[in-house]
Amino acid sequence: MNIELEKLKLIKCIADVNSEAVIKKLAAILMPGKGVKLEEGAKVPQRLTIEQYNKELDAAEAQYNNGEFTSIEDVVKEAESW
């Protein structure tokens, strides 16, 4: 992984954000202790352990195998009604 290229991609993504709320949350996560605070009750996401990740992955696969998902066709139909 080219870390400099990844950082530039992130900068581009951040530059394209038009939501003040999203910018505030990003600032609170990326610059803790610099006077930027999350909204009341908001939580900074924590990294998952490998065990947590695998558990969530297993749960997602079980949902998929049980037919608990939305097809792209259904998403497109719903989006057309917006």
Residue 37 has a pLDDT of 60
Residues 52 and 40 in one domain: no
29 and 58 assigned to the same domain = no
Pairwise CA distance, residues 10 & 3, whole Å: 11
72 and 38 part of one domain: no
Candidate ranges 30-39, 40-49, 63-72; pick with highest mean pLDDT: 63-72
Q: Are residues 70 and 35 in the same domain?
A: no
* pLDDT, greater one: 64 or 38: 64
- Which positions ≥6 away from 32 have C-beta within 8 Å? 44
Contact 33, 45 (CB under 8 A): no
Q: What is the pTM of this model?
A: 0.40
Q: Are residues 40 and 74 in the same domain?
A: no
Q: Are residues 32 and 55 in the same domain?
A: no
Mean pLDDT for 10-31 is 86
* pLDDT, position 4: 92
pLDDT, one tens digit per residue, over 40-62 is 666 666 677 899 899 999 999 99
